[in-house]
Structure 1
Amino acid sequence: MNPGTPWRPACESALRRFSDADAIRFWGIGHEVDGVYQPIFNYRFEHTYAAVLLARWLAPLAGADPEVVECAAWLHDVAKRLKDPQAKDTHAQDASAQVEEILAGTDFPAEKIPAVRHAIEHHVGLKLTKRLEPLETACLWDCDKLSKIGAASLIHFGCISGAFQPITTEEILRRGEAWLDLARGITASFNTEIARAEGQRRLAFLEAHYAQLRREWSDPMKATPA
């Protein structure tokens, strides 16, 4: 009996194909690396990989099924386009619809696919009014949102800031301070206590970062201790 190909590389390959092509469309330019035409910056892949790393960390600690949470993390944005012009966002449903095809012929347990699809279908939004169920769905939401808070998120948002005009330090600072309000709402919405504690640590880092940047950009002398 053929056990099937490993599911992780299959998920990563599917995400890479979609996100590379979409990033090149988005930027309108790319560069060649080892004979392969690549985008300037693939935000979708970088964000997703951050969520995958968090899934590998959070799921075991929270008592969730690690395979379900990680697989859902790999595929949750596999159909989400950057700066999508469509009025209605259906990327969660579109991604869910692709799960069975992507996992076909792999060694991922077929009986776990419905749980993966459920998690993907419920990962949208930046704020929750009640905790999600089951636990795997709750963990995916937490991993997706945690990936948008912290040091890595600053790199991701900074690299993609060129897509939003004007590109000035003041504008980046303004956007960052506005994002802090959203980040506070995200942190209060986490489903698991583990994610909430990590979110608070990451939020404190972001608040300190933007406070320091505001001091430097408003009065550099105040930013340096005497």
Structure 2
Amino acid sequence: MTQELGPLARGLSLPYYDDALPAHDRFHANRVRDLSNRLANGCERIVERDVLTAAAWLHDIGRPLERTGEIDDHDEWGAVEAEALLETEGVASDRIDAVKHCIRTHSIRSSSPEPETLEAELLFDADKLEAIGAVGLVRMACIVGERSGSAGEKYAVIDTPEVGGTVTSDLPDITLLREWAEERLDALYTSPGRRLGTSRWRFMDDFFTQFSREIDVDAEV
């Protein structure tokens, strides 16, 4: 194999994102690639950049199939599919195993294994940081829409419990997005990831304050 692993993985991954919705499309994969390498710049230990970049491109190739119910676990399916793709291209087995581990451990779900390599921790952190900050707010709102579409009914409402009123709902409200972000912020592994997460959280905290002001029209200045 003469082609570098990162660009190779990019080319292999892109067709899988053709049917992806915005929260997990190729633009998300590209941002995770960039963000994970940015975090790697702040690490004192040596990072296998080719493994990290390849895993970033391939980590969500199973998302479209999971969304439509064709597979149950996009982490495990993606790892197996990535192995097959990379083997066909003659990638060394140790590189493939490293990429597979990153993919298998990138989710926050309780069934996911813990990352055991620095590259896996960096991929996990970059993916979780995509749920925090301005981009995170847009992506999480997209996910609420996805889940509403899958269920055929509203998954959450755009409202807040902090403002009194006569309209109430049994569905989750804007607090859900805060909880999702806090859960991911608490789960970050690396020091560079936690520093960036803290910065992005400050923006989100300001956003939620402004959101409450706008919902409470009498209090908005």
Q: Check whether the contact 2:82–2:100 (CA below 8 A) recurs between aligned residues.
A: yes
Shift of 1:109: 5.5
Equivalent position to 1:59, from 40, 60, 64: 40
Q: Contact (CA 8 Å) 2:6, 2:51: kept in 1 or not?
A: no
* TM-score, normalization by structure 2: 0.75
Identity %: 24
C-alpha change, 1:8 and 1:171, in structure 2 (3 Å) is farther
2:209 aligned partner, one-letter code: A
2:177 maps to: 179
User: Is 1:131–1:191's contact at 8 Å kept on the other side of the alignment?
Assistant: no
Q: Contact conserved, 2:188 with 2:194, CA < 8 A, in 1?
A: yes
| Aligned 8 A contact 1:4 1:105 in 2 | no
Counterpart check, 1:170 vs 2:158:
yes
2:72 corresponds to which letter in structure 1?
D
Within the candidate set 99, 106, 115, 1:132 is matched to 115
- Equivalent positions of 1:148-163 (< 5 A) are 148-158=131-141, 162-163=145-146
**Pick from 188, 191, 197: which aligns with 2:186?**
188
Is 1:98 aligned with 2:81? yes
CA contact (8 A) 1:59 1:69 kept: no
- CA shift at 1:96, angstroms? 0.8
Deviation track 1:96-154 (CA, whole Å, cap 9, x = no partner) reads 112233334658655322111111111122579x9732212211111111112111223
Structure 1, 185-194 or 57-66: larger mean CA deviation: 57-66
Q: CA RMSD in A?
A: 3.3
Aligned match of 2:220 in 192, 199, 223? 223
After superposition, the C-alpha distances for 1:58-114 in whole angstroms (9 at most, x for unaligned) are 123223322222211111111122762549732111111122333346586553221
Amino acid at match of 2:220: A
Is this contact kept in 2: 1:55–1:140, CA < 8 A? Answer: yes
Q: CA deviation at 1:13?
A: 3.0
State the shift of 1:57 in Å: 0.6
What is the TM-score of this pair, normalised by structure 1? 0.73
- Give 3-state SS (helix, strand or coil) of 2:42's partner: helix
Is the CA contact 1:68–1:136 (under 8 Å) kept in the aligned structure 2? yes
Letter in 2 for 1:155: V
The alignment of Structure 1 onto Structure 2 pairs a total of residues equal to 203
Partners of 1:5 and 1:107 within 8 A in 2 = no
Aligned partner of 1:115 in structure 2 is: 98
Gap regions ≥5 residues in structure 2 = 162-171
Write the letter of the residue equivalent to 1:44: D
CA contact (8 A) 1:122 1:141 kept: yes
Q: 1:46 aligns with which of 27, 47, 57?
A: 27
Deviation digits for residues 180-219 of structure 1 (CA, Å, limit 9, x no counterpart): 1121121122111211111111112112112202201212
2:156 and 2:48 map into 1 onto residues whose CA distance is 44
Structure 1 distance, partners of 2:82, 2:69, is 22
Distance 2:137 2:197 in 1: 15
